[in-house]
Structure 1
Amino acid sequence: MDACLANPCDAKATCKDNPAPALNATCTCKTGYRGDGLVSGTGCSDIDACLTNPCDAKATCKDNPAPSLGAACTCNTGYTGDGLAKWHEGTSGCSDMGACLDNPCHTKATCIDNPAPAMDATCTCYRGYTGDGLVSGSGCSEMDACLANPCDAKATCKDNPAPALDATCTCKTGYNGDGLASGTGCLEWPLI
């Protein structure tokens, strides 16, 4: 008598008739499944490969459906790598993407990588320069201190090159003083 004819096993299990005098069969879950294999028992359910924590802490884990025994690890936004836990030999795990590696900043700006999950960097123009600091934006141009009108009306203004933030004010011919609008300005030379 073949006990497998009564279909005692889960659809995801193989059935092997036990030899007489036994009246039952042995049900074994197929690769990628676990359980007792019996229709009247726990049956067979997909083995969740994510339960063994195969992925880096900065990655998401997705169980590959049976008969696969593995999982897919994908680094979260802002991270790069293979996504596997670093205890696996030869894996890279997940690390911050390092947005500064793409050189998003102007040559006259500093680049600071924004920590993941951000995928960008902050670009700051050097002292004496102004702009958004981005290669793809306005970049960095030298500030012109003369635009703030620091000099007396009777003086000429010459912007001092960056990193200086000021200008040099020189009184025109016939005038004397510091040339600054906020200082003594420029006064006419006394006539003798």
Structure 2
Amino acid sequence: MSFQVPITIQKAIENIEQKKYFLPSIQREFVWKPEQIERLFDSIMKGYPISSFLFWLVEDDTIEEYQFYEFIRDYHEKNNRHNPKASIVGEKSITAILDGQQRLTSLYIGLKGSYAEKMPYKKWKHDNSFEKKELYLNLLKVSKNPDYTYDFRFLSKKEKDALSEDNYWFRVGEVLKFKNMNDVFQYLRSNNIALKPHIYL
């Protein structure tokens, strides 16, 4: 086992999107709650280490001996909580994630997908009991939760609109469109956002 050259979060997301990373059947399914995903992004923004990942390079002579699964992008507590089986026919080698599935899936959902869990007091059998939410960051205010610095929240469109007064909710996945700091400043100027000194994108 050896340590590899670190890659960016954006590159990891690209590898998931391009189906270069898979999950072996020995992995448990995704179990993190929205609060855990929000905490992960808060830790990243504060520069905290989020530990390493353990990858398994599976060569073509052994690929067919195992079952592999794709990552979940749009998690739905009722209708989409199971990882879809991966089609790896013809692949010469694949990279399977042995440790880090929860973190990588959380990054994927936060940056590219959505999370829908049953709302309180609603019934499981009703589809409207599950509201699709995306991850947002409040660019103008810090978190009111003493355990967090940055105000990350999974919000539905309705919730975001209701909380927009004196706030600016930035959909976190938009950050993948920025190529450099000039793009960041252009976005801030275009949306008339003046950041406080302790808030950084």
TM-score normalised per structure 2: 0.17
Q: Which has the higher helix share?
A: 2
Q: Which has the higher strand share?
A: 1
TM-score normalised per structure 1: 0.17
Higher relative contact order (CA 8 A, sep 6+): 2
